[in-house]
Amino acid sequence: MTTYEALKNKYKSLSFNNIAKILHEIIDIAEKQDLSYLQFSELLADKEIETRNSNRKKLYLKKAKFPSIKTLEEFDFSFQTTISKKQINTLLDFTWIDNRECLVFYGPSGIGKSHLSQGIALKAIDKGYKALFKNSQELMEDLDLAEAHSQLKSKIKQLCKCDLLILDELGYLPWSRKSVFNFFQFINAFYEYRSLIITTNKPFAQWGEFFVDEAAATAIIDRIIHHCHIFPMGGESYRLKKQLEKQNLLKQDLNSNKI
Ligand code: ADP
Ligand code: MG
């Protein structure tokens, strides 16, 4: 007759760690609810799947290296007039990731480009995709450093392990020719192989400015826009609006002698 502890160890040796942990609880439920063999087997499987999914999400979230957690639920679509909730919801079946397509959010500062990108990536993680957040300047420095150590190929290969890379704030500062060449290698590797979400404050026509020369910019843009959904964003800066609201409240408080 198998003892409880021995059974627990058997599950552990099969790496069913959650079942091993809550075996008592599951047996208790089965006895109290008089579960059939089929129901009991299903309960065991469900509990293990539940825990593995939750552990996987935690791990992917950690590996995504988001600067902060921004969700789509927190995004106020009534404030952002150029993009509708419906448009974003259509992206949440993630066929664009399966098809290796890219998204580009472009527009002025503070209007929610990074927030939307992270919100979408968070949902992608929920669905089982691996994401990685990178500020463009940071990515450029990583690629340049790797190239200096003759490790550009392996660095790019490592980046290709994610399904989706968020390239935030592309085009804020001009890059050297060498950096642009390294970036081109990266874009080439991702082209039709992995998905990107790019946020930028510059329209494609101005990308030549930070990619130093027009030819390099054209080669990079060609690959990005070949399979791409472009979302021009406009309106006021959310950041600025909230700051002004705060200042107005402060003024009102001062005028009414509350402070
Ligand atoms: P951008 O990347 O366009 O410069 P961010 O995404 O960083 O702008 O947004 C700036 C700040 O304003 C962030 O804290 C973000 O969460 C918030 N924000 C921007 N737009 C919205 C919105 N429509 N609803 C809720 N928060 C928003
Ligand atoms: Mg941003």
So what's the pLDDT on residue 3?
Answer: 85
Q: If pLDDT is split at 50, 70 and 90, which confidence band does 252 have?
A: confident
- Ion ligand 2: residues, CB within 5 A, are 114
Closest C-alpha to ligand 1, atom 10: 110
User: Using CA atoms, how far apart are residues 47 and 50, in angstroms rounded to an integer?
Assistant: 5
Count of positions (residues) in the chain: 259
Amino acid at 153: K
Q: Which atom of ligand 1 is nearest to the CA of 80?
A: 23
Cα-to-centroid distance, 257 and ligand 1 (Å): 32
Q: Which atom of ligand 1 is nearest to the CA of 118?
A: 6
Cα-to-centroid distance, 76 and ligand 1 (Å): 9
Check pLDDT > 90 for residue 189. yes
195: helix, coil or strand?
Answer: strand
Q: Which residues of 204-216 are buried (b: 16+ CB within 10 A; e: fewer)?
A: beebbebbbeeeb
Closest C-alpha to ligand 1, atom 14: 239
User: Using CA atoms, how far apart are residues 236 and 110, in angstroms rounded to an integer?
Assistant: 8
User: Using CA atoms, how far apart are residues 237 and 18, in angstroms rounded to an integer?
Assistant: 47
Q: Which of 103, 115, 136, 236 to mutate to test the pocket of ligand 1 (most atoms within 8 A of CB)?
A: 115
Check pLDDT > 90 for residue 244. no
Quote the pTM value: 0.88
Q: Tell me the pLDDT tens digit for each residue of 68-96.
A: 999 999 999 988 888 999 999 999 999 99
User: Using CA atoms, how far apart are residues 242 and 248, in angstroms rounded to an integer?
Assistant: 10
Higher-pLDDT residue of 12 and 235 is 12
Neighbouring C-alpha atoms within 13 Å toward the C-beta of 240? 7
Q: Which atom of ligand 1 is nearest to the CA of 105?
A: 3
Cα-to-centroid distance, 170 and ligand 1 (Å): 17
| Beta-sheet strands, E only, within 55-155 | 102-106, 131-135
Q: Provide residues with CB under 6 Å of ligand 1.
A: 70, 74-76, 79-80, 109-115, 199, 238-239
Q: Tell me the pLDDT tens digit for each residue of 140-169.
A: 999 999 999 999 999 999 999 999 999 999
So what's the pLDDT on residue 132?
Answer: 98
Q: Which atom of ligand 1 is nearest to the CA of 107?
A: 3
